[in-house]
Amino acid sequence: MAYKKIESYDEKVTNGLIKNYHECLQLIGEDAEREGLLKTPERLAKAMQFLTEGYQQDAKAILQGAKFTEAYSEMVIVKDIELYSLCEHHMLPFFGKAHVAYIPNGYITGLSKLARVVDVFARRLQVQERLTHQILDAIQETLQPQGVAVVIEAQHLCMMMRGVQKQNSVTTTSAFSGQFGDGTTRAEFMRLIGK
């Protein structure tokens, strides 16, 4: 299914995670049986399945599901798509905005689908660079447009709460294909997203 929402959680996965998170609580020195923590392993098991549900979803099927023939061939930009992902090194969140653009080549897609594609790849263990490329590749391969541009600006909690502890650094990644290789087109995109 293109965009499967978690309505019922896989029992085997949920039970396995509950067991592990219960042990995690004990290992960090908590009393896993105290009232406030009794349901925490189950809550966390469900939260983690939600935050990684992108593994069960198919970005290309989502785009194909709303692919329409249209002669429009100017840039289409959806900017400021908020995203939340988990860094694969520490499994701590990184969060920010994605700006996605494409120049149609006979086909357009539903605007919401671009934001859904961002979520499909964000809801996995990621590095920002791969996330950027996966979004671009899914759009390029499905719509075969004249070009795709993806810019992501994000803050990484693994650099804020721990480690180097820098509170204001923002990481920007970008990927471009087709006509966005042209300096003028790319500059227009950057201007339109306010960069």
Ligand X SMILES: Nc1nc2c(ncn2[C@@H]2O[C@H](COP(=O)(O)OP(=O)(O)OP(=O)(O)O)[C@@H](O)[C@H]2O)c(=O)[nH]1
- What residues act catalytically? 87-90, 128, 156, 158
Give the span between the Cα atoms of 131 and 193, in whole angstroms.
19
**DSSP string over 57-101:** --HHHHHHTTEEE----S-EEEEEEEEEEEETTT--EEEEEEEEE
Residue stretches of the annotated binding site: 87, 90, 158
Minimum distance between the CB of residue 153 and Zn ion, rounded to whole angstroms?
A: 17
Kindly identify the residues of this chain, within the stretch 126-185, that bind ligand X according to CB under 6 A. Answer: 127-129, 156, 158-159, 163-164
Task: State which of residues 89, 112, 172, 192 lies at the interface with ligand X (CB under 6 A).
Answer: 89
Number of residues that bind Zn ion (CB under 5 A): 4
Tokens standing for residue 136: 């671009």
Task: Please say which residue, 67 or 90, places its beta carbon nearer to Zn ion.
Answer: 90
Task: State which of residues 45, 63, 86, 87 lies at the interface with Zn ion (CB under 5 A).
Answer: 87
Task: Please say which residue, 60 or 133, places its beta carbon nearer to ligand X.
Answer: 133
**CA nearest neighbour of 91 among 13, 27, 162, 23:** 162
List C-alpha distances in Å: 171 to 90, 131, 188.
Answer: 17, 13, 21
Dihedral (CA of 85, 87, 91, 97) sign: negative
Q: Is 102 helix (H, G, I), strand (E, B) or coil?
A: strand
Residue stretches of the annotated binding site for Zn(2+): 87, 90, 158
Minimum distance between the CB of residue 25 and ligand X, rounded to whole angstroms?
A: 22
List C-alpha distances in Å: 137 to 85, 133, 141, 144.
Answer: 18, 6, 6, 10
Number of residues that bind ligand X (CB under 6 A): 10
Minimum distance between the CB of residue 55 and ligand X, rounded to whole angstroms?
A: 18
Task: State which of residues 89, 162, 166, 195 lies at the interface with Zn ion (CB under 5 A).
Answer: 89
The torsion defined by the Cα of 129, 135, 136 and 140, in degrees rounded to 10, comes to 150
Task: Please say which residue, 95 or 107, places its beta carbon nearer to ligand X.
Answer: 95
Residue nearest to Zn ion (CB): 158
- Interface residues with ligand X (CB under 6 A) are 87, 89, 127-129, 156, 158-159, 163-164
Task: Enumerate binding residues for Zn ion (CB under 5 A).
Answer: 87, 89-90, 158
